[in-house]
Structure 1
Amino acid sequence: MFKNKTHLIFCLLLAMLTILVAACSSTGNETPESNKKVESEKPETRTVKTIHGDIEIPANPKRIVVDAYLPTLLVLGDKPVGATKQDLDNVHIQDLISGIESTGENSMEKILELQPDLIISVDAERSTFDKLSKIAPTVIIPYSTYSGAHEEVRAIAEMLGKNKEAEEWLATFDEKIQQQRERVQAVMGEEETVSIFGAFGKDSYIYADGIYKGGQAIYRQLQLAPPERIKKELLDAGESTKRVSFEVLSDYAGDYIFFDQSNGGTLDKQDPVWKSVDAVKKDNIFYLDQKRFWPYDPIAVLAQAEEVADMLVAKKKGRK
């Protein structure tokens, strides 16, 4: 009987030792795999250069809140969770914004509620950056950072790892622009010029090829020619706009004039100065829809190029 008990105890001890060794062995074998699993669960990031230094952002952000660059995100296939009211009012993207919540005029409370993992904003105020960066990694891209649609799409694509999507969209963009350019070239004389004027508040402005009033579409994309004085004083000088007195508008007038009225600015069409302009006498005036020609994003620029081409072709054909 004593031998039986001894044998039983020995068997139990042996079984326990076997289990303990197996457990240790298993633990030892799983440690590297566990580490790999932990490492794989760590979110990947990338570093981008900004006006506030290097910022570490998610490599594949899932909840972006944006201010001013909504259309560019959309062409890259990144639909943000939130955007400003002004972004969402853009007439050119109304079929693309379902499900995006409004942050009003950058309401901090609303942005916090949306729990973003990345914020992209145009507001260059340091205080705004400080507030936003407490919510999520924040990249500030001030107005006029990019000179045109291609630069903007490629720069933001680089930041988000969307280079392939950018090139595919830009290829389509270039093809459509070329079609509109050819339509215009078929009806416009080689020496004919185009001006962009505006009444903004109480002031009068001339616009070039920057972010204002369809300038990118008219001069950069359709490659319409400005009068020599606009070319010299604005385009060649790298200026996007120039405030002038109403009395000298005729000095900058092209054969065709696109006119914008915004911020309460109005044009007195009976003013003798205006009526003396040759393009006015020939009825070569196009009055711009403020909502359609205020945006300057890549989607808007393409739409504006198509509309300007339509205007010019219709005007030319109407005379034949």
Structure 2
Amino acid sequence: MPHAAPGRTLTHCLRALLGAWAATAVGLAAAQAVMGPTGAPTRSVEKEIRADNKPERSVREWLVRMHEASRLRSYAGTFVVSSNFGGMSSSRIWHACDGQQQMERVESLTGAPRSTFRRNNEVLTFLPESRTVLTDRRESLGLFPDLLKSDETAIAEFYSARRTGGDRVAGFEADVVQLAPKDNLRFGYRIWSERKTGLVVKLQTLDREGNVLEQAAFSELQLDVPVRMDKLAQMMNVPEGWRVEKSDAVKTTPAAEGWAMKSAVAGFKPMSCYKRPAQGVLQWIFSDGLASVSLFVETYDPKRHFHESVAASGATHTLTRRMQEWWLTAVGEVPPATLKAFSLSLERRK
């Protein structure tokens, strides 16, 4: 499997790294009393929703509000992610902002110890077990939760939005917003947006039938906490004796590398393209504004690439396919049919 390259958003990275949202037995029982098995409102809640006379926001208005909340607010909290496969993990997040400057610290609470720092597009990951620091610059990393990965004006063509009610998450009142796809090429989302600020405090990714594929949420959150940027900057200093490994990703274009798409996959726009010379891997990144797809291309090696497959982990699907002397790995938070459409459209031009 190719290594992830620049361009993955912070939301995507957190989904992949953290693992699971865990509710207490009391909280889960209370939730099930009001919500259906997939987290959808029950009939009694629907009556309350119909009585709510709040004006409905458009898809763009909801997403811009959420995006601005993540950009302008300082906060700290414990963030947990779970998948329908039972995976579970958590991290502690500190987010600070000062004008246009953004800084974050993400401390893994499960699995191998790991601390990730982000200062705007600069990313450092500290691995204490190996005394190693990984450095990277991510042009398209974005802000948590990065719901505006591309031109937001196109999102309304492929998603509809409606407020379905209210709820409490981590002690905060939140609006529950349903983003429904208008075709079969993308998943839907249920988003809990903190009522006063708009900050996303919980997010579910849903399949076509409304089943929850993946869920991420704050189990504890403090808004507008005095997170000091100078203190976070000091923590980014590499300790004496630690090894620094710099990313070898080089920005390029698909055309320069001899690749093109015969036809576009509806709604998905090319975002960026990188190559890793040491690994011989090219990554071409696409997004529809909410979901992302990465196409990893490398030379076919019969010793490593012995069968084509489609696999799933929560909301993330992976498709592998041989293309003559090349091997394609398509990865994205999309249905398998979408990855198949990308794989059939990709072609070698030279």
Q: Report the TM range for the smaller structure's normalisation.
A: under 0.3
Task: Kindly indicate which of the two structures has a greater share of residues assigned to strand.
Answer: 2
Give the TM-score, by structure 2 length. Answer: 0.21
Give the TM-score, by structure 1 length. Answer: 0.23
Task: Kindly indicate which of the two structures has a greater share of residues assigned to helix.
Answer: 1
Higher gyration radius (CA): 1
